[in-house]
Amino acid sequence: MEFSSFLTSLGTSFLIFIVLMLLFAWLSGKPGNSVIYYPNRILKGLDPKEGGSRTRNPFAWIHEAMSSTEQDVISASGYDTAVYFVFLSTVLGILVLSGLVLLPVLLPVAATDVGVKIAKTTSNGTFSNLDKLSMGNVKEKSSRLWAFLLATYWVSFVTYFLLWKAYKHVSGLRADALMSPEVRAEQFAILVRDIPPVPEGQTRKEQVDSYFKRIYPESFYRSMLVTNNKVVNKLWEELEGYKKKLARAEAVYALSKKTGKPEGARPTNRIGFLGLIGKKVDSIEYYNEKINEVTPKLESEQKDTLREKQLDAALVFFSSRVAAASAAQSLHAQMVDKWTVTDAPEFRQMIWTNLKIKFFQRQKYLPFLKPIVDIDAIKTVLEAYLPQLALIIFLALLPKLLYSLSKAEGIPSEGHVVRAASGKYFYFIVLNVFIGVTVGGTLFSTFKDIKKDPDSIPDLLAAGLPVNATFFITFVALRFFVGYGLELSRIIPLIIFHLKRKYLCKTEAEVKEAWHPGDLRYGTRFPGDMLIVTIVLCYSVIAPIIIPFGVVYFGLGWLILRNQALKVYVPAYESYGRMWPHMHKRILAALIIYQLTMFGYFGAKQFIYVPLLLPAIILSLIFGYVCSKKFYRFFRDTALEVACRDLKEIPNMEQVFRSYITPSLSSDKIEDDQFEDALSQVSRSTSFV
Amino acid sequence: MEFSSFLTSLGTSFLIFIVLMLLFAWLSGKPGNSVIYYPNRILKGLDPKEGGSRTRNPFAWIHEAMSSTEQDVISASGYDTAVYFVFLSTVLGILVLSGLVLLPVLLPVAATDVGVKIAKTTSNGTFSNLDKLSMGNVKEKSSRLWAFLLATYWVSFVTYFLLWKAYKHVSGLRADALMSPEVRAEQFAILVRDIPPVPEGQTRKEQVDSYFKRIYPESFYRSMLVTNNKVVNKLWEELEGYKKKLARAEAVYALSKKTGKPEGARPTNRIGFLGLIGKKVDSIEYYNEKINEVTPKLESEQKDTLREKQLDAALVFFSSRVAAASAAQSLHAQMVDKWTVTDAPEFRQMIWTNLKIKFFQRQKYLPFLKPIVDIDAIKTVLEAYLPQLALIIFLALLPKLLYSLSKAEGIPSEGHVVRAASGKYFYFIVLNVFIGVTVGGTLFSTFKDIKKDPDSIPDLLAAGLPVNATFFITFVALRFFVGYGLELSRIIPLIIFHLKRKYLCKTEAEVKEAWHPGDLRYGTRFPGDMLIVTIVLCYSVIAPIIIPFGVVYFGLGWLILRNQALKVYVPAYESYGRMWPHMHKRILAALIIYQLTMFGYFGAKQFIYVPLLLPAIILSLIFGYVCSKKFYRFFRDTALEVACRDLKEIPNMEQVFRSYITPSLSSDKIEDDQFEDALSQVSRSTSFV
């Protein structure tokens, strides 16, 4: 890539960004678009145009985002989003503090050296202007390399310092969340799995109740057996579908009265395949009939499910938070694979179908990466030196697959699956994209040799590094200009919404569904960010010019996502910052990759003091170990000192309990006594903490 | 070593064994020796000669040992000893089941082959008779190697099967012990460490009490602050020393009245250095004076210690076992390095001085083996191809060092330190002795090359293996004939006791101290056994003739130690089988070493189907993983379903609490209210489970 093409690429991206920004300024001002640009506020019942937006200044959102506090983010978007911002600002801090030292020091040191001719450069185009500013321009064995060595340490220490501060901060955030006086149902429940077979002469419910009553005579409240809801869910969805269609048909009929003849035109539909063939019927009558037909079926299936389809899992409710927190951490059965307990996920995070998976089937598929990496198609694509855009598109296809893989591990909670998938995604892109592109890009011809002798990878990597810097700079710039431009302007959701509203939506509920914003999806957003962190860290000393691009990526990201968090996205669930240990570990992993890269690169520069980098790597490992010892367990278990804080009111245990009943099993018509088969009764009057 | 010298060595060992057995039969019959041969029974207040011993049949003890049940062992010597017998019988079972198949199959297969000339053999003496029976006699690439390959699998499967059975059995034993209706103080207590600094305006006691009362309003009973007892312990020991000396002086005086003049000779002593110089004083008066002098000092120091020398650790007592078991497993503070809790060790296992060590100082010294292995003296000794006896003596010197190393890790419990030291000892002897002797013995001249190219170790190891078989057979035989002969006859304790009684002991207490038997010391006994397990397993297929020797070692060991457990040793503490997971892991480690050795040896035999052994190694790793997943946690934490069993009586909490007061701080004169400074008061009337 020549310098001019680099500038062209950068310029084009910037132009697209400017256009998207202008579009945003224009479109977000239109009242009809509020549901796209302020859905979070609308759903919360707030005035979308509150605050700066009222002034019609198209840049007011910047001021709003800058002046918002962490507490604003938490109340608008929850703790997980706030933790994501801790991640963004930590990385931003690392890059800014690194850049402040590295740019003024390393650029002159590199640029004033007499320069080395890099043989390989020509094959990737001559690129003298940027190359002169990189470590590639420094001669082998030069004493100028000392500056780069010290710079490597500076970046490491900045990272340790900010990561430590951030971990402490997030731990505090999590404590605040967990000790909040709000009654949160999941804090009163535990999830029990691997319940042994029912003993002779007892029902499953009696078995569970007597087991927990014996251990927790004071604090046990009630249990809820998990049932196999496949059939009942299907019936319920069918019923809900008919109800929606009925509402739609009624809306169409009402509309036709206004616009057409005063008596209106009753809508009709065909009852054959996809509504395209078969008999034509009156829709309103037909759906009413169907609803009357399915409702009793559902009711009898509900009874049947509760009575006959109990699985070997249950939710157990306690009358105090401390009791539940303590129970979730304790071993209950002598055999570890029986009566296993964990803290209950939030109701909206429950993955009911995973609850029946047995203890030993839930073990992680560690060698999961192998088959993926070995798929020939993927390999071919990777080896073919992906152009930047193709790379981005390719990366967009992976998350679904990784999500399913993680779900197959038998994890009972949505948030946990997202974290697991996100981890796989990170290692996948770092291993395959970053290392693949670096090695594959410069040394494609010798790629086969590397496979035969993997020990030579560091050398080859080091030799090829500076040449790739421009590729990655363009990649980063494309990500932030186009990526964040699209993010802020929300062009695609806007177009889809307007199309849907015009041609598809008939009822209010359908319109609302059309503009519902979804959540921040940090599960896939974060690994993408991590790829940038890895790239920028790895090049920070080799080609410090990449740092400003990294700063812009995370600065712009912080700003634009702050706006989105405050006004657009609605969190799907809340894990109280459980993502942070993963973020922490992966930033540290990126740092270690960076240190290893530098180790290899200094070696390639024949710098004899390169062993002086080893302490940095060891320090990173020790830092990671100490952090996980000091902070991690609180992210897995709830500390009792936190759980024992007072609640603002005596919890309504009945309400806590009911919040875990799936909609397909709950119905106004079902009396409490019908639940008796699967749900245990209130055992006794209980005292609350 | 020639065949005749092998037979001589074996014969000599056997002769020594016979002599020791005869000595035992003769000496154990003498009534004056009961305290040496039946101390466990005497201390329990039982008739030493009960049962078979009464018949004066010198082999009655064998019948007694054989017919004793596990329950007998538990009531005589506790659960830990019973678990040690599970270990012995499991290994015995593995060797017997292996031998039953391997001996009749492999010996003919090896012996009928035409034979290979082993170049190295001459350097270690010709040894054709035994060599013919080993795998070394089978030609390279021979299809007879299939039999040896299948034999390797047979041994592996036998091991898996018996280990699984044993783990299940020990888990059941532990559950029995923990759910016993006896009130055991340690089941009601937890140990709290890393208590944060005392807040302004509170005492340490108030801080601890309010913290736990808040979390456990129902079940918290009382707390006991840990104090720095260095000074008070010294004073107390001084006082106890004077008391003992006074008793001794009085006994001497009383004796002199009987034997000498009727008015007796008042004993005297010198008060200078070691009682050798200085003024001569009347002992009885002098010690009485001293006791009167030290007693008030001790009393004031006791008060001072309780008030001023509190550490940041405490024992917290609960009114129910379930509450204590659950509390010991739960995270209490948001920062993991504050308010850390574990289950309380038994009082007699407490290592008080370790309690003040802070969280991050307690991390394991992982690289502990390096400095030891690198000590030049040890290296020289090891490299010099130790003769068997020198090896045994050398191994006897290590345990103390490893015990101190483990204690320095900051572990609060004696039993835990023993387990940790025992683990280090195992890895030390297996790495240094077994591999060292094997490699060093045959390939001493090429030892330096191995260091340069450690990858070649497997090859060299494999080539040198069969030649070393005789060395190890002699080693095993020496261990069981001489080792167990000495064990059963107790010649050395007997001689020491008689010498002490004759020349040193004056009071009853001193005599009792002289014959007190101590415990089984499985901490050092077990790694020694494991060395034999490793050796016999590794050679089981290469030279199956070693198996009968292994069987005799463990059979004889089981028999003789059963006798010792029932009649001699007195357990120092009880950990309810916590040693088992270590035993399990190390037997499995020995199996994997064996599989790796076989892998190397088949490779050296140029057997092209050697990769067929890889599944065995992977299977071992999976087996270990599944076992630790299924069983391990119950050995770390107490299962609540076990802890919630009924007690046979309402526990006397005051007594439970008092059982943890160190003798140096407890005194009849100290009133309860003096404890108030360090020990919290009974908070409220409590209900018991």
- pLDDT per position as a tens digit, B619-663: 999 999 989 888 888 888 888 888 888 888 888 888 888 888 877
Take residue B648 and report the two structure tokens written for it: 């046979």
Q: What is the pLDDT of residue A370?
A: 42
Chain A contact set for B216 (CB, 8 A): 322
Average the pLDDT over B448-477 and give the result.
Answer: 65
Which pLDDT band, with edges at 50, 70 and 90, does A104 fall under? very high
Cα B247 from Cα B227, distance rounded (Å)? 31
- Residue of A151 and B119 predicted with greater confidence: A151
Q: Which of A319, A361, A627, A640 to mutate to test the interface with B (most CBs of B within 10 A)?
A: A640
Inter-chain touch B637–A330, beta carbons under 8 Å: yes
Q: Return the minimum-mean-pLDDT range out of A572-581, B359-368, B588-597.
A: B359-368
Burial annotation B32-50 (CB, 10 A radius, 16+ → b, else e): ebbbbbbbbbbeeeeebbe
Q: Which of A158-167, A665-674, B530-539, B563-572 has the highest mean pLDDT?
A: A158-167
- Say whether pLDDT at B6 is over 80: no
Q: Which helix (H) or strand (E) holds A343?
A: strand A340-343
Take residue A284 and report the two structure tokens written for it: 């309103």
Q: What is the pLDDT of residue A442?
A: 52
Inter-chain touch A218–B218, beta carbons under 8 Å: yes
Q: What percent of chain B has pLDDT over 90?
A: 20
Q: What is the pLDDT of residue B686?
A: 36
Inter-chain touch B334–A171, beta carbons under 8 Å: yes
Tally of residues, chain A: 689
- Residue of A462 and B97 predicted with greater confidence: B97
Q: What is the pLDDT of residue A462?
A: 56
- Say whether pLDDT at A368 is over 50: no
DSSP-derived letter for residue A679 is B
Q: Return the minimum-mean-pLDDT range out of B256-260, B461-465, B657-661.
A: B461-465
Q: What is the pLDDT of residue B440?
A: 57
User: Cβ distance A644 to A178 under 8 Å?
Assistant: no
Q: Which of A334, A623, A634 to mutate to test the interface with B (most CBs of B within 10 A)?
A: A334
Which pLDDT band, with edges at 50, 70 and 90, does A464 fall under? low
User: Cβ distance B84 to B522 under 8 Å?
Assistant: yes
Which pLDDT band, with edges at 50, 70 and 90, does B681 fall under? very low
Q: What is the pLDDT of residue B396?
A: 67
Which is nearest to B639 in space by CA: B344, B343, B191, B325? B325
Q: Which of A623-632, B419-428, B515-524 has the highest mean pLDDT?
A: A623-632
Which pLDDT band, with edges at 50, 70 and 90, does A278 fall under? confident
Inter-chain touch A629–B363, beta carbons under 8 Å: yes
- pLDDT per position as a tens digit, A403-428: 877 777 778 888 888 888 888 888 87
Take residue B103 and report the two structure tokens written for it: 């001996």
How many other CB atoms are there within 10 angstroms of residue B243's CB atom? 15
Q: What is the pLDDT of residue A482?
A: 86
Out of A218, A332, A644, the one facing B640 most closely (by C-beta) is: A332
- Residue of B490 and A375 predicted with greater confidence: B490
Dihedral of CA A634/A635/A636/A640: which sign?
A: positive
Inter-chain touch A322–B626, beta carbons under 8 Å: no
Q: Are strands B220-227 and B268-270 parallel, antiparallel or unpaired?
A: unpaired
- Say whether pLDDT at A81 is over 60: yes
DSSP-derived letter for residue B143 is T
CA distance A638 to chain B (A): 7
Which is nearest to B388 in space by CA: B3, B9, B8? B9
Inter-chain touch A215–B626, beta carbons under 8 Å: no
Which pLDDT band, with edges at 50, 70 and 90, does B373 fall under? very low
Identify residue B83 by its one-letter amino acid code. V
Transcribe A177-224 into DSSP letters.
Answer: HHT-SS--GGGGEEEEE-PPPPPTT--HHHHHHHHHHHH-TTTEEEEE
CA distance A29 to chain B (A): 46
Q: Which residues touch A29 (CB under 8 Å, ≥6 apart)?
A: A56, A58
B386: helix, coil or strand?
coil
Q: What is the pLDDT of residue A355?
A: 81
Which pLDDT band, with edges at 50, 70 and 90, does A337 fall under? confident
Q: Are strands B340-343 and B189-193 parallel, antiparallel or unpaired?
A: antiparallel
User: Cβ distance B155 to B94 under 8 Å?
Assistant: yes
Q: What is the pLDDT of residue A440?
A: 57
- ipTM value of the model? 0.73
- pLDDT per position as a tens digit, A548-564: 999 999 999 999 999 99
Q: What is the pLDDT of residue A123?
A: 39
Q: Are strands A220-227 and A310-318 parallel, antiparallel or unpaired?
A: antiparallel
Cα A86 from Cα A558, distance rounded (Å)? 10
Take residue A607 and report the two structure tokens written for it: 């710098």
- Say whether pLDDT at A677 is over 70: no
Cα B385 from Cα B470, distance rounded (Å)? 14
**φ, ψ of residue B413 in degrees (nearest 5):** -125, 135
Q: What is the pLDDT of residue A417?
A: 84
Q: Return the minimum-mean-pLDDT range out of A198-202, A561-565, A654-658, A675-679.
A: A675-679
Angle in degrees, CA B227, B229, B235, rounded to 5: 150
How many other CB atoms are there within 10 angstroms of residue A93's CB atom? 18
- pLDDT per position as a tens digit, A33-48: 888 888 888 888 877 7
CA distance A279 to chain B (A): 60
User: Cβ distance A132 to A138 under 8 Å?
Assistant: no
Q: To the nearest whole number, what is the mean pLDDT of chain A?
A: 81
CA distance B331 to chain A (A): 5
CA distance A233 to chain B (A): 34
Cα B265 from Cα B281, distance rounded (Å)? 13
Average the pLDDT over A337-347 and give the result.
Answer: 87
Q: Left (φ > 0), alpha (ψ -120 to 50) or beta: where does B201 sit?
A: left
User: Cβ distance B524 to B425 under 8 Å?
Assistant: yes
Average the pLDDT over A486-507 and give the result.
Answer: 86
DSSP-derived letter for residue A350 is B
Average the pLDDT over B193-211 and give the result.
Answer: 90
Average the pLDDT over A165-185 and give the result.
Answer: 90
Which is nearest to A553 in space by CA: A491, A486, A490, A484? A484
Q: Which of A2-6, A678-682, B481-485, B545-549 has the highest mean pLDDT?
A: B545-549
Which pLDDT band, with edges at 50, 70 and 90, does B562 fall under? very high
Cα B608 from Cα B113, distance rounded (Å)? 19
Chain B contact set for A325 (CB, 8 A): 330
Average the pLDDT over B569-589 and give the result.
Answer: 90
Q: Which of B169, B176, B220, B330 to mutate to test the interface with A (most CBs of A within 10 A)?
A: B330
Q: Which of A71-80, B120-129, B378-387 has the highest mean pLDDT?
A: A71-80
Identify residue B222 by its one-letter amino acid code. R
- Interface residues from chain A to B (CB-CB < 8 Å): 171-172, 174-175, 211, 214-218, 322, 325-327, 329-337, 339, 359-360, 363, 626, 629-634, 637-642, 644, 689
Which pLDDT band, with edges at 50, 70 and 90, does A688 fall under? very low
Question: Residue A152 to residues A476, A542, B199: CA-CA distances in angstroms?
Answer: 21, 10, 42
- Say whether pLDDT at B491 is over 80: yes
Identify residue B236 by its one-letter amino acid code. W
The burial of B454, by beta-carbon neighbours within 10 Å (0-12 exposed, 13-18 middle, 19 or more buried), is given as exposed
A340, β-bridge pairs: A193
Q: Return the minimum-mean-pLDDT range out of A656-660, B14-18, B37-41, B51-55.
A: B51-55
Contacts 24+ apart (CB under 8 A), A155-161: A155/A94, A155/A98, A155/A102, A155/A537, A155/A540, A155/A541, A155/A591, A155/A594, A156/A591, A156/A595, A156/A616, A156/A619, A156/A620, A158/A93, A158/A94, A158/A97, A158/A98, A159/A94, A159/A587, A159/A588, A159/A591, A160/A619, A160/A620, A160/A623
- Say whether pLDDT at A455 is over 80: no
Q: For residue B173, what is the nearest residue in chain A, using CA coordinates?
A: A334
Which is nearest to B572 in space by CA: B527, B618, B521, B608? B521
Q: To the nearest whole number, what is the mean pLDDT of chain B?
A: 81
Q: For residue B210, what is the nearest residue in chain A, using CA coordinates?
A: A641
Q: What is the pLDDT of residue A99?
A: 94
User: Cβ distance A296 to A159 under 8 Å?
Assistant: no
User: Cβ distance B594 to B430 under 8 Å?
Assistant: no
Which pLDDT band, with edges at 50, 70 and 90, does B673 fall under? very low
Chain B contact set for A214 (CB, 8 A): 641, 644
Q: What is the pLDDT of residue B687?
A: 35
Which pLDDT band, with edges at 50, 70 and 90, does B430 fall under? confident
CA distance A631 to chain B (A): 6
Q: What is the pLDDT of residue B183?
A: 84
- Say whether pLDDT at B610 is over 90: no
Q: Return the minimum-mean-pLDDT range out of A672-681, B17-26, B437-446.
A: A672-681
Which pLDDT band, with edges at 50, 70 and 90, does A373 fall under? very low
Q: Which of A32-36, A652-656, B73-77 has the highest mean pLDDT?
A: B73-77
Inter-chain touch B641–A332, beta carbons under 8 Å: yes
Can you list the alpha helix ranges (DSSP code H) found in A479-630?
A: 484-489, 491-503, 508-515, 522-540, 546-567, 580-604, 614-627
Query: Which residue reads 């037997």 in tokens?
Result: B587
Q: What is the pLDDT of residue B678?
A: 55
